[in-house]
Structure 1
Amino acid sequence: MGDKQGAIADYTSAIKINPNYAKAYNNRGNARRLLGDKQGAIADFNTALKINPNLAQAYGQRGIVRALTGDKQGGIADLQKAAELSQQQGNTELHQKVLEFIRKLQQ
């Protein structure tokens, strides 16, 4: 799935140029998640959401990581927020993916 370390370096460079670039934090968090750096990922998702509290993707990604680290209820809460925002924003694809993750976690 590509050069995740390189992606992290690129997103870090983008953040240095624009520290308020929420999507760069979100994307770097996703790369960190894929490399197994769950705490680094959560920190990036938290920063992305601090900058843009309407970033549905960051809630969704953080929800997945929280669930993977044993915080199932926190993960579900984040995923529910992602579902709410993605529906409001008309992002049907993300909305469906998030609902599927919620169903899996509630089993």
Structure 2
Amino acid sequence: MATEHDRAVLQAIFSPNTPFGDVPGLDQERELTDDDSPFDADSLRQVKDLESRGVSAADAGDLEAALELFGRAIRILPRRASAYNNRAQALRLQGNAPGALEDLDRAVSLSGGQGRTACRALVQRGLLRRLAGQDDGARHDFQKAAALGSEFARQQAVTLNPYAALCNKMLRQVVGKLRNPDMCEPPLETQSRN
């Protein structure tokens, strides 16, 4: 059986764009959930129904109806993060990036940076920040979302960190040369004659 270190080395060789030592899926034994225990069961059921209908409306292209439904959900349970995250998606699709960022900040804050909603909000906020050219903020959000288990966020964090990809590429080349020494570059004397 391979050790965690062995899996990390193999990951670096076969997936040079992931940070060295990151083995996708290794820390993802549990499914992310949100803690809805502080909320009244009837209100929670009502809000989840409104959010589900809002998502369906957004999927159908009716962003106004989606925004109205998410707004109603927020009015019922203003301390629950999920509706803010969903409304941010609709606002983003509508072209309202500042409004979306405001809702995403609220979703991350209300979730305490933990759970499924936090992960989704961090990914969404990272994308908006990246589009705005705020790479440091985007990288920070993607790293947090990756720590929560988002594989997409992990890939985005690597994309924004060229040093990790370069180190992994160099490691892959070294291992490749060890596997196939015939493919090594010719000695320097031969190179200088060409």
- Give the TM bin, normalised by the shorter chain: 0.7 to 0.9
Q: Distance in 2 between matches of 1:100 and 1:32?
A: 25
Aligned match of 1:19? 78
Aligned match of 2:148? 85
1:40 is aligned, of 99, 123, 129, to 99
Q: Distance in 2 between matches of 1:72 and 1:26?
A: 21
Name the SS for the 1:30 alignment partner: helix
Aligned match of 2:47? none
Aligned match of 2:135? 72
Contact kept, 8 Å, 2:145 with 2:154, in 1: the verdict is no
Structure 1 length normalisation: TM-score?
0.83
Contact kept, 8 Å, 1:25 with 1:45, in 2: the verdict is yes
* Structure 1 position 102, deviation (Å): 2.8
Aligned match of 1:50? 109
Q: Aligned residues: percent identity?
A: 35
Q: Distance in 2 between matches of 1:40 and 1:29?
A: 7
Q: Distance in 1 between matches of 2:101 and 2:89?
A: 9
CA-to-partner distance for each residue in 1:54-102, whole Å, 9 max, x for gaps?
Answer: 111111111111111121110111011011012xxxxxxxx22222333
Q: Distance in 2 between matches of 1:15 and 1:36?
A: 21
Unpaired segments of 5 or more residues in structure 2?
A: 1-58, 163-194
Q: Distance in 2 between matches of 1:101 and 1:27?
A: 21
If asked which structure has higher relative contact order (CA below 8 Å, sep 6+), I would say: 2
Unpaired segments of 5 or more residues in structure 1?
A: 87-94
1:99 is aligned, of 137, 147, 154, to 154
Name the SS for the 1:7 alignment partner: helix
- Aligned AA (2:154): L
Structure 2 length normalisation: TM-score?
0.48
> 4+ residue runs of structure 1 moved beyond 6 angstroms?
none
Q: Distance in 1 between matches of 2:155 and 2:66?
A: 27
Contact kept, 8 Å, 2:122 with 2:142, in 1: the verdict is yes
Name the SS for the 2:148 alignment partner: helix
The structure with the greater share of residues assigned to helix is 1
Contact kept, 8 Å, 1:38 with 1:69, in 2: the verdict is no
Aligned residues: 99
Of structures 1 and 2, the larger Rg is shown by: 2
Contact kept, 8 Å, 2:81 with 2:106, in 1: the verdict is yes
Q: Distance in 1 between matches of 2:161 and 2:66?
A: 33
